[in-house]
Structures are given as structure tokens and as C-alpha cells.
Homo-oligomer: A and B are copies of this chain.
Amino acid sequence: MNKITQTWLGAYIDSVNKVLSECEYLRYTDCYRDKVIEAEKYSVSAGGKRIRPVLCMAFYDLFGGREDISEIASCLELMHTFSLIHDDMPEMDNDSLRRGKPSTHAAYGADVALLAGDGLSILPFQIISENALAGKIDLKTAAKLTQVLSEAAGHRGMIMGQMMDIYSEGRANEVSVEFLTEMSRLKTGCLLRASCLFGSILAGADDSRLDNAAEYADNLGLAFQIVDDVLDVTGDEKLLGKPTGSDLERNKPTFADILGIDKAKKLAASYTRRAISAISLYQGSEFLSELALGLVDRKI
């Protein structure tokens, strides 16, 4: 990733982090009533690459947007954080560490974590609708964003991907690359696609631009997941902030497992090329190209 891309990326991340840390919606006091909001804030503040809001803002800029959309962009991080909290729960992956810190249920108990995930799944819709009613975004845009986000995160999107993930556990030897591809499209791809569409919709992009954004997102999502699987085998535990080999231990099928590390890396590179070519016709697409390349080369 070159210097300009890094600076640009840093600016995006800073503006999302600022919104998330100052967000009125996540303000809490010491009162027990606010414990769920405190747990939400804990989880949202635990770091992370902020890739979803970054994609939203980058597509907004690519397609000529001129306003500050970081609050709307942060909705994608809130929805993502909801999925992480519930995914870590004892009845799901039962992970007690996330990004090197106790996961939400380990820090606050499973009951509070359950409610914190619930709160974060609903909050984005409140933020979008209140922005619309305050005249900050127009009403049709708000309806589109609500539709895109609810479909992407819902039971035929991200949640269906989680269901496939549950099903796949203990079936490492039974499932195919096609199964993994579909699971990845749903589990991580849908929300990445929503992120790219968010920025495009906010910028008033036409259908062909929306198609290109979706094409970039779909390919990036697959590359991203494959790299994730590879890192679970080859990654540095200290950098990742969680133990490696967890997929293997649970007998969960992964791209690395089925294809082998080398082939998996090649497949990720091929999806990345496709992602880049989907947007290469647009002036100013270098940031998104570099971002895609950076995500394949990442160590965490």
C-alpha cells in the first residue's frame, strides 16, 4: 500500500473512530440500566479495521459525494459489531478472546452480551431514520439504505451465512469449495456489499455504478474470507490477538483446508484482480484498488 493510500485510509478510519467514540447513541453512565450500552461501546471500541465504513466512504468519494457521511458509514460498523458479539457467544463459536481482549460475553456475561448484540442490530436503523427525519439525508435514500442493510444483515444474508457456519462445524470433510464460497458470500460478503452500496447510494450513483460497486464488493469479500482462513493457519497469534488453528480444532471447513495454502492464496489473488477490474474504469479508483491489494497482503 503506497503512502497516499495509507494517509487516505488513516483519514477515513480516524473519522469513523471519532464518530464512534463521540456518538450520542452510545453514551452511557455508571447506572446498571446503561450496562448494555456500555458493553456495546466496549465492543465497538475494541479496534478492528473499520473496513466496512471505509468502503462506504471510499465509494461515496469515488462517485462524487461531497458531504460528511461518517455517521451513516458507522452504521455498518455497528451492524458488523453486532454479528461479532453474537458470533463469539457460548452457543456459537464460544470465543473468549476478540482482538486480544476478552470478548463481550467474557467481559460482561452472556446475558448482557446477548442484549448488546440486539441493541447494535437495531441501532443502525434508528440512526438512518433520524438522519432522514432531520433532513440530513433524503427520505428515499434512507428507505434504500434501510432496505439494503436489513436485507444484507438479515436471515437471507449474513444470518443465513451464520446458519451455514453452524451447519459446517464438524463437517470439514464433507463440504465443497462451492459451499464455502456461498457461505462466505452470505456471512461476510453481504455486509461488505451493503457497505459499498451505501456509499454509492448516498452519492446518488446510477444502476451501472451500483452494479460495479457490488461486483467489487463480492470479489473483495471472497478474497477477504480466503485470506482470513489462511491467516487462521499461518498467522501470528500476537498480531491477530487470538489463537490460530481454531477452525481446524473445531473441524470447521476452510478454503485453506480444502485447497491448501498455496492454491488458496492464488484464488484470493484472482478474486482481488476481479474486484479491481470492476472499478478500474473510474477516475480515482486507485484507493479502492490499493485497498483490495492491501487486504490480500494483510497480516491481521
Spell out A's residues near B (CB within 8 Å). 32-37, 40, 82, 86, 89-92, 109-112, 114-119, 121-123, 125-126, 128-130, 132-133, 139-140, 142-144, 146-147, 149-151, 153-156, 159-160, 162-164, 166-167
The answer to whether B154 and A122 have CB atoms under 8 Å apart is yes
Contact B133 A144, beta carbon cutoff 8 Å: yes
- B167 near A119: Cβ-Cβ < 8 Å: no
Q: Which listed residue, B35, B82, B115, B129, touches A146 by the CB 8 Å rule?
A: B129
Query: How many copies of this chain sit in the oligomeric assembly?
Result: 2
Complex formed: what's the CA distance from A255 to B227 in Å?
55
- Given that A121-B122, A163-B33 are contacting pairs, would A129 and B147 also be in contact in the complex, using a CB cutoff of 8 Å? yes
* Contact status B91-A110, CB under 8 Å: yes
Question: Separation in Å of the A50 CB from the closest CB of chain B?
Answer: 21
What B residues does A110 contact at CB under 8 A? 91
Given contacts A32-B167, A89-B114, 12 further A-B contacts (CB under 8 A): A33-B164, A36-B155, A111-B166, A112-B166, A115-B159, A118-B118, A119-B154, A122-B122, A122-B159, A123-B154, A123-B155, A125-B149
Contact A147 B163 (CB under 8 A): no
Report the separation of the CA atoms of residues A111 and B90 in the bound assembly, to the nearest whole angstrom: 9
Q: Which residue of B lies closest to A26 (CB)?
A: B155
Residues of B within 8 A of A91 (CB): 90, 109-111, 114
Shortest CB distance A185–B (Å)? 12
Interface CB pairs A-B, < 8 A, 14: A33-B164, A33-B167, A35-B167, A36-B155, A36-B160, A86-B115, A115-B163, A122-B150, A122-B159, A126-B151, A129-B143, A132-B143, A133-B140, A142-B143
